[in-house]
Amino acid sequence: LSWGPLVLGHAHPDVIAAIQRTAANGTSYGAPTELENQLAELVISMVPSIEMIRFVNSGTEACMSALRLARAYTGREKIIKFAGNYHGHADMLLVQAGSGVATFGLPDSPGVPNGTTENTLIAPYNDLDAVRSLFEANPDSIAAAIVEPIAANMGFVLPEEGYLQGLIDICHEHGALLILDEVMTGFRASTGGAQQAFNLDPDITCLGKVIGGGLPVGAYAGKRDIMQIVAPAGTMYQAGTLSGNPLAMAAGLATLTELRRVGVFDQIAGRTKQLTDGICHVMAEFE
């Protein structure tokens, strides 16, 4: 619902109550809050690859910040993205981003300067040989590859067996990082997201949508040694006045707490099947 954030449905009573309770005490403080720490600890407990997390205001911000972090950590500038994968509307990522019809956008948008994307390399999804070729053609230049574990923006394309782990292995072989964009897949079918389903250990994970319970939110997270590059612990700048604001954190806490309840994902799967079966039945009538 609402393109993904409302995994519990519209106006879930626990989420609404948390927002109302929190709003009575203030909507923004411009500083970290106890709620932000609580949501961070909850996410870390649910996703084994995540050791530290930083909240932002959208999935686009999460992906932008993750790439800045990868570049800061490696000292390299080039990145690899995959044709048909969507990582938000940032200029450097709005290249071969999937179906314009599916996103109400364009694969390549007017207004994006050519120079903005000159360090963005494109590989076909599910093609490890193409990734190897890019690394060979750009030695010691690629900071990271960013990938959707399931390519939702071009028709819900699943990864071939071994593909995602292969990406991690190739990146590490060449001193680059693997960024797993779970803005769409995170907490949608299991508490650990797609990386739990595919048994992955990415360097950096991007999150959004579900973790805000319907309020604007995003996050980038990963290994401690990488995340400590971010200021104030490190030198990589990233900030946002409303990042980690109390309302979004409260809604996220209520949502993830409910998702941890036994049987919730079975309920979601059952309703999903009911919907898809109904759609297939209607389509069959017009074949």
Model confidence over 262-286: pLDDT tens digits? 888 899 889 889 999 999 999 999 8
The highest-level CATH class for domain 13-285 is alpha beta
* Beta strands at 218-222 and 120-123: parallel, antiparallel or unpaired: unpaired
Check 73, 81, 125, 209 and give the catalytic one. 209
Task: State residue 30's pLDDT score.
Answer: 87
Q: pLDDT confidence of 92, banded at 50, 70, 90?
A: confident
- Domain residues of the chain, as ranges? 13-285
User: Could you confirm whether 181 is annotated as catalytic?
Assistant: yes
- Show the CA angle centred on residue 231, arms to residues 226 and 234, nearest 5°: 55
What average pLDDT does the structure give for the chain?
Answer: 92
Q: pTM value?
A: 0.92
CB 119 within 8 Å of CB 81: no
User: Could you confirm whether 209 is annotated as catalytic?
Assistant: yes
* CA of residue 101 relative to chain centroid, distance: 21
Percent of the chain at pLDDT exceeding 70: 94
Task: State residue 243's pLDDT score.
Answer: 95
Q: Is residue 102 over pLDDT 70?
A: no
Check 73, 78, 81, 86 and give the catalytic one. 86
CB 146 within 8 Å of CB 222: no
Check 73, 181, 203, 223 and give the catalytic one. 181
Model confidence over 58-91: pLDDT tens digits? 999 999 999 999 999 999 999 999 998 989 888 7
